[in-house]
Chain A
């Protein structure tokens, strides 16, 4: 399966998306800035 480059591309997109989302979340939380709050002005 790993020899099919298009499958690797699709899997890579998912894996990296999970990785970057996780570090975004961890870094924001570490700064005391919880992600997901409704921050839009009402």
Chain B
């Protein structure tokens, strides 16, 4: 039965994928003639009560994206956790998966509310742009509405049927509903991504913006898939970070040892999910940026060599913060196991690599200097620190930080397992050799970038990525074989310092800030275009704001979102709180009398 359910969902998804291009062709045939994109004048943009249209759309779009990223990501790992519960027959996984979904439910209606507000703001303040996008994407807009309806239905059924479909074959039926929910959710995201990506790299239109292609051609524009992958991974990392903060919130609030143990475990799992989504993210971001350069070199230079380049330094600070917080949490976690102390001496070396990598990453290449400062420095670049400002140094830094973050995970995992195989000592040496040679290779490939032309410098970053992934994959494979039948020692869940929980709060704050910042950069790459090179933005606010103004706006939106998240956490806790009856209930009275 379980197979039939899954097959049904897969067949349904494949059929939808096959029919989708047909729908596109039908829509194309019904499309209007080859009219160019609208060219609205400044007077065509409505001015209502002095409201800044861009600020309103920016705030609502960002809030909607934060909420949607969270709401779409949580069911992805909730179903994974639920499946783990079935495989391991451990009820705790099932309870945790349900709790993940409980937080999502509290945030879902807010997502829809802000999304509705965004759509309204866009149609009111940017009617020409929205009219044009509707013309390009035609029936897909209705498909989006349909998918949203399906998402709501499947989400409610998935959550509310949890206890009704908990055991045996019913459990597989429940997971099938979860699969439908995730398929619909991901499709929703891919459709919305197509619109955002089309505005950056339009396809299916001629240079005047006239629609010449199918909806599918407009959808499958050059930046669509890099954006899909990047958002998919980022959503998982983000969702993990937010539920991790929820677990920390509950850990600090609960008093019973049992509840603390549960939320400590939930916090660890959430942190694991966040970092698992985060580790491949720089590579997805690299691909997205490479595709931006491939599509328009000018756009790429605006991002990384122009006015927006300084924001990448702030990005580095935020990613460094995430790395430090995640590692700190993992190091604190060593106290949960009795053998954890033996790994403590290695923590300081990992800390040196993480902090060192962080410092290299935040080192800027071009400095904003006064003439006297330049004279003192002896040029526009610092002699020693200047070389650390370019990509080869940053690639070395980020890859080593990722490798050592994985090492922190590995240390915790192994702190509760004693290998019993005869070749354990040799296996450890094979892993040591893997790390040593891998790190040397990462550094060497980076140094190679200094002595070769730019094309080699960029090309050498790919073997660095392959090296990082190789280290992780081979270390996991060796561990799997070496820890087979290992003697396990008790993990004292809940034996965790309170200050470690604040690291779990740092993660979503830094992630939210980072997403706001990078989303702003991505959107600003269009400069004074609504749709790049096709439809000009002639509104009064068609300019790139100063870094300070952008930073302040992003910070205010981040604070607003964090307030929403605290409200969601409070709601979730409130839902589980029961007021004790002021008078004994009837049943209890009878019981007491007898």
Chain A interface residues (CB < 8 Å from chain B):
2-6, 8-9, 11-13, 15-17, 19-21, 23-24, 27-28, 31, 33, 39-40
- Which residues of chain B from 427 to 456 have any CB-CB distance to chain A below 8 Å in the complex? 428-430, 432-434, 436-438, 441, 445, 451-453, 455-456
User: B455 and A33: CB pair below 8 A?
Assistant: yes
The smallest beta-carbon distance between B308 and chain A, in angstroms, is: 27
User: A17 and B437: CB pair below 8 A?
Assistant: yes
Which residues from A are CB-within-8-Å of B470? 19-20, 23
Report the separation of the CA atoms of residues A16 and B436 in the bound assembly, to the nearest whole angstrom.
Answer: 9
18 A-B pairs whose Cβ atoms sit less than 8 Å apart in the complex: A2-B423, A3-B423, A5-B425, A8-B426, A8-B429, A9-B429, A12-B430, A13-B436, A16-B438, A17-B437, A19-B470, A20-B470, A23-B466, A27-B462, A28-B456, A28-B462, A28-B463, A33-B459
The smallest beta-carbon distance between B365 and chain A, in angstroms, is: 20
User: A28 and B459: CB pair below 8 A?
Assistant: yes
B441: nearest residue on chain A (CB-CB)? A20
Contact with A along B182-220 (1 / 0, CB 8 A): 000000000000000000000000000000000000000
Report the separation of the CA atoms of residues A11 and B433 in the bound assembly, to the nearest whole angstrom.
Answer: 9
Q: Is B181 an interface residue (CB 8 A)?
A: no
User: A12 and B429: CB pair below 8 A?
Assistant: yes
Which residues from B are CB-within-8-Å of A11? 433
Question: What's the tally of chain B residues with a CB closer than 8 Å to chain A?
Answer: 27
A33: nearest residue on chain B (CB-CB)? B459
Whether A20 touches B426, Cβ cut-off 8 Å, given contacts A31-B462, A33-B455, is no
Report the separation of the CA atoms of residues A6 and B455 in the bound assembly, to the nearest whole angstrom.
Answer: 40
User: A9 and B432: CB pair below 8 A?
Assistant: yes
Contacting residue for A28 out of B422, B426, B460, CB 8 A: B460
Q: Is B467 an interface residue (CB 8 A)?
A: yes
Report the separation of the CA atoms of residues A13 and B433 in the bound assembly, to the nearest whole angstrom.
Answer: 5
The smallest beta-carbon distance between B152 and chain A, in angstroms, is: 45
Whether A20 touches B459, Cβ cut-off 8 Å, given contacts A5-B426, A8-B430, A12-B430, is no
- Which residues of chain B from 406 to 438 have any CB-CB distance to chain A below 8 Å in the complex? 422-423, 425-426, 428-430, 432-434, 436-438
User: B437 and A20: CB pair below 8 A?
Assistant: yes
The smallest beta-carbon distance between B11 and chain A, in angstroms, is: 36
User: B467 and A20: CB pair below 8 A?
Assistant: yes
Which residues from B are CB-within-8-Å of A3? 422-423, 425-426
A21: nearest residue on chain B (CB-CB)? B441
Report the separation of the CA atoms of residues A15 and B466 in the bound assembly, to the nearest whole angstrom.
Answer: 16
Which residues from A are CB-within-8-Å of B425? 3, 5, 8
The smallest beta-carbon distance between A35 and chain B, in angstroms, is: 9
The smallest beta-carbon distance between A23 and chain B, in angstroms, is: 5
B452: nearest residue on chain A (CB-CB)? A39
Which residues from A are CB-within-8-Å of B438? 16, 20
Which residues from A are CB-within-8-Å of B466? 23, 27
Known: A13-B437, A20-B441, A27-B466. 20 other contacts (CB 8 A): A2-B426, A3-B426, A5-B426, A5-B428, A8-B425, A8-B430, A8-B433, A9-B429, A13-B436, A15-B433, A19-B470, A20-B463, A20-B470, A23-B470, A24-B441, A27-B459, A28-B459, A28-B463, A31-B459, A39-B456
Contacting residue for B433 out of A4, A9, A21, A40, CB 8 A: A9
Which residues from A are CB-within-8-Å of B432? 9, 12
The smallest beta-carbon distance between A1 and chain B, in angstroms, is: 9
B422: nearest residue on chain A (CB-CB)? A3
Which residues from A are CB-within-8-Å of B460? 28
Which residues from A are CB-within-8-Å of B455? 33
The smallest beta-carbon distance between B447 and chain A, in angstroms, is: 13
User: B453 and A39: CB pair below 8 A?
Assistant: yes
Which residues from A are CB-within-8-Å of B463? 20, 23-24, 27-28
Which residues from B are CB-within-8-Å of A17? 437
The smallest beta-carbon distance between B327 and chain A, in angstroms, is: 24
B430: nearest residue on chain A (CB-CB)? A12
- Which residues of chain B from 304 to 326 have any CB-CB distance to chain A below 8 Å in the complex? none
Which residues from B are CB-within-8-Å of A16? 433-434, 436-438
Report the separation of the CA atoms of residues A26 and B116 in the bound assembly, to the nearest whole angstrom.
Answer: 50
Which residues from B are CB-within-8-Å of A24? 441, 445, 463
Report the separation of the CA atoms of residues A5 and B424 in the bound assembly, to the nearest whole angstrom.
Answer: 9
Which residues from B are CB-within-8-Å of A9? 429-430, 432-433
The smallest beta-carbon distance between B479 and chain A, in angstroms, is: 15
Which residues from A are CB-within-8-Å of B422? 3
Which residues from B are CB-within-8-Å of A4? 426
Which residues from B are CB-within-8-Å of A33? 455-456, 459
The smallest beta-carbon distance between A7 and chain B, in angstroms, is: 8
Q: Which of B453, B460, B463: most chain A CB closer than 10 A?
A: B463
Report the separation of the CA atoms of residues A27 and B460 in the bound assembly, to the nearest whole angstrom.
Answer: 9
Which residues from B are CB-within-8-Å of A31? 459, 462
Sorted from nearest, which 3 A-B pairs have the closest CB atoms? A12-B433, A16-B437, A8-B426
